[in-house]
Amino acid sequence: MAYSKIVIFAILALPLLLSGAETRKAVLPGSELFKMCCKNQPEFGTCDTKEDDERCTQMCLDGCSTNKGGGCQPISAAPGSVCSCYC
């Protein structure tokens, strides 16, 4: 009798445990969530202060599926820095 209660409990508990498992979709390089990854973001505007760097990081976290963020990176082609999302 006790064995059957354990089996029933296990059957009921398994779906609850699995429902909390994080599922992650595969993201292909051409997909919408990959467009910001590994690229400079000139539309961000100036990227010179710590606050700009934090906004850049958040924008890259929200717009790129790799969840690696980004930061203000100096570039030689223009004065100042540009927001760049990490790969």
Which residues are CB-neighbours of 34 under 8 A, at least 6 positions away? Answer: 27, 28, 64, 65
What ranges make up the beta strands (E) of 1-87? 40-41, 70-74, 81-85
Task: Of 6-10, 38-42, 72-76, give the lowest mean pLDDT range.
Answer: 6-10
Enter the DSSP assignment of 20.
Answer: T
**Chain mean pLDDT for the chain:** 74
Q: How far apart are CA 60 and CA 80, in angstroms?
A: 19
What global pTM score does this model have? 0.57
